[in-house]
Amino acid sequence: MSASGPVVLRLFIAGPGARSQRTVESVRRICETHLPGRHELEIVDIYQQPALAERDGVLAAPILLRVAPLPVRRIAGDLQDEGRVLRALDLAPAEEA
Amino acid sequence: MPDAQPEPHAAPTLPKAPTGIDGFDAITQGGLPVGRPSLICGAAGCGKTLFATTFLVNGATRYGEPGVFVSFEERAEDLVANVASLGYDLDRLVADGKLAIDHVRVERSEIEETGEYDLEGLFIRLGYAVDSIGAKRVVLDTIETLFSGFTDPLLLRSELRRLFGWIKDRGLTAIITGERGEGQLTRQGLEEYVSDCVVLLDNRVADQITTRRLRVVKYRGSAHGTNEYPFLIDHAGISVLPVTSAELDYAVSDGVIASGIAGLDAMLGPGGFYRGSSILVSGESGTGKSMLAASFADAACRRGERCMAFVFEESGAQIVRNARSIGLGLQGHVEAGLLRFEAARPSLFGLEMHLARMHRDLDAFRPDVVVVDPVSALRGSTSELQATLLRMIDLLKARGITAVFTSLRTEGAVDPGDDLGVSSLMDAWIKLLNVEANGERSRTLYVIKARGMSHSHQVREFLMSGEGIRLVDAYIGPAGVLTGTARLAQEAQERAAMLRRRQDAERRSRDAVRRRQAIERQIAELREGLEAVADEERLLHDEDSLREAVLEEDRREMQARRVTAQGSASGAASGTAPGAPRGAAKRAAE
């Protein structure tokens, strides 16, 4: 991926449950591994900020949004499969970058 | 009717939330179940969204129950624009905090899925919207759209089940809409989850005419009308027609109202028709049906009553103009708000839609008198037509409305039961007939029947002029019934004959007078003669008495003379006839 700017990600989780924790860890790991220093990650708890969920049209949780670069991409689920997450985000694995 | 009508007082144990949709609340005896989700399903374009919106708007404006509209298909702006034509101002309701609209965008293949997830976002958004305005009502339109956005149907189903449970827990009265699917009510079988109340909307086309129908498929814990009911969507919103209430238990009135035609009222025992009765006016084209109905309407408005005319062949303005030619000022009644025309081509809607429209208009305008002109313009199969008219009559009777139906009889239809088979449903039947004779047509009128009153069985001639409609007794004589010029000719003949008879009588009486006068004159003459004879008689009598007196005098003179002459002529005294010579001598001496 030709990085013209930082990759902006926004992760919506529903409460502090085990699945939310798992998802947050997974996303953090992927970001640090494959996008070191060129990503912004925002984590939103939809219970705390329902207005943000509404703004971004979030239904499923957890869900990861790639806000930039456009177009917006959405990946629902607990994001344990690193390969699928990268493919879905249209990001090349770090080894190849 | 094989209709499982609900018991009117079947203890309403289940609390209901009124939808405010005319007719629907009647069918369901109160509305949708409170605190539960109800499913409204049907094919595209059958009015699901509108039904749901009406439920929310009425809840917010009439019943003090704010509502949340979660739209999975239309954007909020589109929804607002779409229902604005019905007079719903959603923006104002939103501004007033009575309504919240949340557009949930679901696009196919936009979302990748990896690992487990749930729809907590939807729950939170819904909960957020509900809490923000204290909503009691919720609409999810159309929740099945979720199935195109997410690929895991098992997960979706469990989430939907959880959602409906959540709605119940929150005590929200909800409408879930669903698209009609193959072989089942909805594509995703939502009816399995929303099992409390299921309403099916349908939009059927027959003979290029669309009829919307509604059926309550299921209503757990409540009796409900089970038939298909036609419903109507137009500028006044949705109205459902609970048409099957064919119970003959309406209140009857002994009140009598005039028809506006004095001659017609005079043919009826009480001097008019009973209030609330149904009157059929049948006849061929040009027999004056519409004008008779117009007279009826005019009379009602003159009494200050409200009259509504459903016209199928002419516009209201045209009827007003035509009625002016017989001296009826209907325009004034229209302007005074007493008379309203509802004109529509019969082919515009199906029969049931006409009925539904009529139902709504009747309840809105609340007329005392209704004119349907002509009822025969409604087209359909005979059985359907008859059922429609039956319901129409029921509709009117239940409201105590006096109705005048005109019906066109086609030329040559000799079958007396040809009047759509409705003549038996009608309380009174006036038949207008054109009589053709002597090269002219004249209008005649019969009262075929009038329930509950005596009425004339005779034909009347029906005359329309600038002074209105007038009924004239037709001439009935040895030559049969005569109308028109023949009647006039006959009347002229009768007048001439009467004149002749009168002249004869006068002449005879003059003759008699003359004869009497002649006899009186004769009597007078005879009396004069009599008097003359009497005079003569008196005269003769006088002469006789005079002569007697003279003779007496003579005799006395003679005697006196005899006494003196006795001495000298003693012998003469012994003579045989002493009188005669003495008389002669006397006369000679005189």
Contacts of A21 in chain B (CB under 8 A): none
Q: Taking 80 as the threshold, does the pLDDT of residue B426 lie above it?
A: yes
Give me the CATH topology for the region B256-473: Rossmann fold (3.40.50)
Amino acid B76 reads A
State the nearest Cα–Cα gap between A85 and chain B, in angstroms: 7
pLDDT tens digits along B10-23: 455 688 888 888 78
Yes or no, beta carbons of B122 and A59 under 8 Å apart: yes
Yes or no, beta carbons of B115 and A58 under 8 Å apart: no
**Between residues B34 and B414, which one has the greater pLDDT?**
B34
Structural domain spans, chain A: 7-89
Contacts of B110 in chain A (CB under 8 A): 74
> What confidence score (pLDDT) does residue B414 get?
43
Yes or no, beta carbons of B128 and A80 under 8 Å apart: no
Option in B116, B120, B124 nearest A77 (CB):
B116
CA B321 vs. chain centroid, Å, equals 20
Q: Taking 80 as the threshold, does the pLDDT of residue B574 lie above it?
A: no
- For residue B259, give the 3-state DSSP assignment: coil
Q: Taking 60 as the threshold, does the pLDDT of residue B413 lie above it?
A: no
State the nearest Cα–Cα gap between A73 and chain B, in angstroms: 7
Partner B contacted by A8 (CB < 8 A): no
**Between residues B293 and A7, which one has the greater pLDDT?**
B293
pLDDT tens digits along A16-62: 888 888 888 888 888 888 777 788 888 888 888 878 877 777 888 88
Average pLDDT over residues B475-500: 78
The dihedral region occupied by B502, where left means phi > 0, alpha psi between -120 and 50, and beta the remainder, is alpha
Yes or no, beta carbons of B128 and A79 under 8 Å apart: no
User: Per-residue confidence at B379, pLDDT binned at 50, 70, 90?
Assistant: confident
Option in A50, A54, A63 nearest B117 (CB):
A63
State the nearest Cα–Cα gap between A55 and chain B, in angstroms: 10
| pLDDT, mean over chain A | 78
Per-residue DSSP letters for chain A?
Answer: ---SSPEEEEEEE-TTSHHHHHHHHHHHHHHHHHSTTSEEEEEEETTT-HHHHHHTT--SBSEEEEEESSSPEEEES----HHHHHHHHT---TTT-
Average pLDDT over residues B187-196: 74
Helix (H) or strand (E) holding B169: helix B153-170
Distance CA A44, CA A60 (A): 13
Structure-token pair, residue B426: 């009608």
Option in B104, B114, B119 nearest A57 (CB):
B104
> What confidence score (pLDDT) does residue B417 get?
47
Partner A contacted by B125 (CB < 8 A): yes
Q: Taking 90 as the threshold, does the pLDDT of residue B510 lie above it?
A: yes
> What confidence score (pLDDT) does residue B6 get?
47
User: Per-residue confidence at B479, pLDDT binned at 50, 70, 90?
Assistant: low
Judging by beta carbons within 10 Å of its beta carbon (0-12, 13-18, 19+), is residue B226 exposed, middle or buried?
middle
Average pLDDT over residues B222-245: 75
State the nearest Cα–Cα gap between A33 and chain B, in angstroms: 19
Amino acid B572 reads A
Number of alpha helices (DSSP H) and beta strands (DSSP E) in chain B: 15, 25
**What are residue B6's phi and psi, to 5 degrees?**
-65, 150
Partner B contacted by A85 (CB < 8 A): yes
> What confidence score (pLDDT) does residue B307 get?
93
Option in B112, B127, B146 nearest A74 (CB):
B112
> What confidence score (pLDDT) does residue B30 get?
85
Q: Taking 50 as the threshold, does the pLDDT of residue B168 lie above it?
A: yes
Distance CA B15, CA B35 (A): 9
Partner A contacted by B148 (CB < 8 A): no
Yes or no, beta carbons of A88 and B105 under 8 Å apart: no
Distance CA A75, CA B270 (A): 84
Contacts of B100 in chain A (CB under 8 A): none
Interface test with A, best of B73, B111, B119, B144 (most A CBs within 10 A): B111
Per-residue DSSP letters for B5-45?
Answer: PPPTT----S-EE----BTHHHHTTSSEETTSEEEEEESTT
CB-side neighbour CA atoms (13 Å) of B142: 24
State the nearest Cα–Cα gap between B117 and chain A, in angstroms: 4
CA A76 vs. chain centroid, Å, equals 9
User: Per-residue confidence at B109, pLDDT binned at 50, 70, 90?
Assistant: low
> What confidence score (pLDDT) does residue B249 get?
62
Partner B contacted by A19 (CB < 8 A): yes
Which residue is it, tokens 């079988």?
A: B189
Contacts of A59 in chain B (CB under 8 A): 104, 106, 119, 121-122, 125, 146, 149
Q: B145: which DSSP letter?
A: G
Residues 28-67 of A with CB under 8 A from B: 46-47, 50-51, 53-54, 57-63
Q: ipTM beyond 0.90? A: no
Contact A3, A93 (CB under 8 A): no
Which CA distances in Å does B114 have to A32, A61, B172?
Answer: 19, 12, 33
Yes or no, beta carbons of B121 and A74 under 8 Å apart: no
Give the largest CA-CA distance in chain A: 38
Structural domain spans, chain B: 16-240, 256-473, 492-535
Option in B114, B125, B146 nearest A75 (CB):
B114
Domain B16-240 in this protein, CATH class = alpha beta
Average pLDDT over residues B158-180: 88
State the nearest Cα–Cα gap between B129 and chain A, in angstroms: 9
Q: Taking 50 as the threshold, does the pLDDT of residue B450 lie above it?
A: yes
Per mean pLDDT, which of B85-94, B201-210, B233-242, B534-543 is the most reliable? B534-543
Pairing of strands B237-240, B228-234: antiparallel
> What confidence score (pLDDT) does residue B409 get?
73
Interface test with B, best of A59, A86, A89, A91 (most B CBs within 10 A): A59
> What confidence score (pLDDT) does residue A74 get?
82
A-to-B residue pairs, Cβ atoms closer than 8 angstroms: 87
Judging by beta carbons within 10 Å of its beta carbon (0-12, 13-18, 19+), is residue B57 exposed, middle or buried?
buried
State the nearest Cα–Cα gap between A8 and chain B, in angstroms: 17
Residues 77-116 of B with CB under 8 A from A: 102, 104-106, 110-116
Instruction: Say if B16-240 and B256-473 have the same CATH topology.
Output: yes
| Vertex B509 angle, CA B505 and B513, to 5° | 170
> What confidence score (pLDDT) does residue B1 get?
41
Per-residue DSSP letters for B557-588?
Answer: HHHHHHHHHTTT-SGGGG-S--HHHHHHHHHH
State the nearest Cα–Cα gap between B69 and chain A, in angstroms: 14
Option in A60, A77, A85 nearest B121 (CB):
A60
Contacts of A77 in chain B (CB under 8 A): 113-117
Contacts of A46 in chain B (CB under 8 A): 120-121, 124
Q: Taking 70 as the threshold, does the pLDDT of residue B549 lie above it?
A: yes
Residues 6+ apart with CB under 8 A from B278: B393, B396, B397, B402, B403, B405, B425, B426, B427, B428
Contacts of B127 in chain A (CB under 8 A): 50
Q: Taking 70 as the threshold, does the pLDDT of residue B91 lie above it?
A: yes
> What confidence score (pLDDT) does residue B492 get?
85
Partner B contacted by A9 (CB < 8 A): no
Residues in chain A, total = 97
User: Per-residue confidence at B286, pLDDT binned at 50, 70, 90?
Assistant: confident
A7-89 under CATH 3.40.50.2300, yes or no = no
Tell me the pTM.
0.63
Structure-token pair, residue B465: 């002029």
| pLDDT, mean over chain B | 81
> What confidence score (pLDDT) does residue B11 get?
52
Option in B104, B105, B114 nearest A88 (CB):
B114
pLDDT tens digits along B33-53: 998 889 888 888 788 888 899
User: Per-residue confidence at A92, pLDDT binned at 50, 70, 90?
Assistant: low
User: Per-residue confidence at A1, pLDDT binned at 50, 70, 90?
Assistant: very low
- For residue B243, give the 3-state DSSP assignment: coil
Option in B115, B124, B149 nearest A47 (CB):
B124
